[in-house]
Amino acid sequence: MKFYKVGFFIVFIFFIWFGYTTISSSPESKQARTMEANNVLNEKDQVVVNSTSSTENKQFAELENYLQDEPILDGALVGISIRSASTGDLLYDSLGDTRLKPASNMKLITGFAALSVLGEDHRFTTEILTNGDITENRLDGDLYIKGKGDPTLLPEDFKLLAKKVQESGIQTINGDIIGDDTWYDDVRLSRGLNWSDEHWYYGAQISALTASPNKDYDAGSIIVEVHPSDQAGDKPKVIISPKVDYIEIQNNAKTVSANQEEDVTLNRKHGTNIFTIDGTIPVDSSSVKEWMSVWEPTGYVLDLFKQSLKEQGITWNGTWKTGRVKDGSEVLYSHKSMPLSELFVPFMKLSNNAHAEVMVKEMGKVVHGEGSWEKGMEVIEAELEKAGIDATKLDLRDGSGISHANLLTPNAISSLLYRARQEEWFPVYLHSLPDAGNPERMLGGTLRYRMADLPVQAKTGTIAGVSTLSGYVESKSGETVIFSILVNNLVDEDDGPQVVDQIVKKIYEIF
């Protein structure tokens, strides 16, 4: 019996010794020992720092202290990934593989895929077609306007299209005017869009046949301006741009005396194009100006096209409606948009959501023959896989980042930004990013009032509780560094940029 006890004790000691040596010699343990020597730790999470410089480690510690001590970040999640632009090596990682909401940093992914799949020379087409004969300035048949996704069509473009109809010899249409938007599917809003966003320009519906009010190219939207009356008690003046019969204004607002508060509220009744204006505006107040989305952009286009046809003296005896171009119809004129390389400037610098969603559907149409979010997102995921990023560990719901269900990791974003630098189209991609502190709107974009003293080109992102920034910075030493900063769970997202900018400044100093 004593023999068995002694034998059991010897076996027990052997297993303890074997387990210790096995664990301590494993790759994970070796990595842990290296991290213990080189990494900076804080109380919130473990951070990977690939540095042997004591000066850099001290600066990283200062960054960690800032993240720990900044009151705005209490209860928030801060994911940071920093890479060398020349090698792609990961230099710093805090929650780098944690899935976080990217907000408009999602556009970096969509833009990468669009340039890879569609190409920088890709253009969107709008066609004018007929399915009848033209005799004695009369078209015996229908006139079609077929959209293929162009988000840059302006009111003046419809004047050009109408003029082309007139130049083809048509003065009278013995038929209907038909808008064909079937290049894409009829799903107008992306999955996960918040209901409270859908009446604003950044939540506009996506149609293959759409229009923009000005050269910001906010497709599917109009501009509503409210001006105070000269007399207190009167209704304010409302101006719509462009002027269309497609919408209805219900003006319930009132002009009040100069010493009262401006409190004007604009809305659109869901499922309609009835825009309501409520509240008060003082007689000496500046105007209130908002960009608002329309319900069903195809009808918006038909209204603009009809107006332009009338200006050219063209009449018709049929109706106007949506439908599909009949087989055998003849193309009278084909209008081309600007190339994707030019569209990328307002897309990225102004963070245009509609452009992102159009690109998603266009990629689905080009690759899979179906202009839908489902097929477009499949294309984006495939491009991520080609770039060496595991898309199964991410959750992608749209192209713009407006959905709170989108989930990316800082390391995935920084890795993609490194891969982008290897592509021939990278100059287009880089030029499209907002240039920090540049006061020119189409250069500085959403960063024109931020970090004027830092050489930063990066994409901003903001949704409720989220503030993000990812891009490139030329560090104090002259080295280009890639960074991705995703801040989630903020009490007030408006506090985010000041924190993010401080982090970028520290990155600039460290490298």
104 part of the active site: yes
Residues 6+ apart with CB under 8 A from 16: none
**Facing residues of 395 across strands?**
407
User: 81, 94, 107, 432: which is the annotated catalytic residue?
Assistant: 107
Return phi, psi of residue 90, to 5°: -75, 120
> In terms of Cα–Cα distance, which of 366, 365, 367, 392 is closest to 381?
392
Closest CA to 411 of 102, 83, 105: 83
| Pairing, β 125-130 against β 330-336 | antiparallel
**Residue 130 · residue 146 · CB < 8 Å:** no
Q: How far apart are CA 76 and CA 73, in angstroms?
A: 5
Cis omega before residue 242 (within 30°)?
A: yes
Asked if residues 74 and 86 have their Cβ atoms less than 8 Å apart, the reply is: no
Which tokens hold the place of 248? 């209805």
Distances (CA, A) of 118 to 47, 121, 157: 38, 8, 24
How would you classify residue 233: left for phi > 0, otherwise alpha for psi between -120 and 50, otherwise beta?
Answer: left
CA–CA separation, 216 vs 241, rounded Å?
13
Catalytic option among 351, 414, 470, 484: 351
Q: Which of 81, 94, 104, 470 is catalytic?
A: 104
Instruction: Judge whether 168 counts as a catalytic residue.
Output: no
Indicate which residues carry an active-site annotation: 104, 107, 351
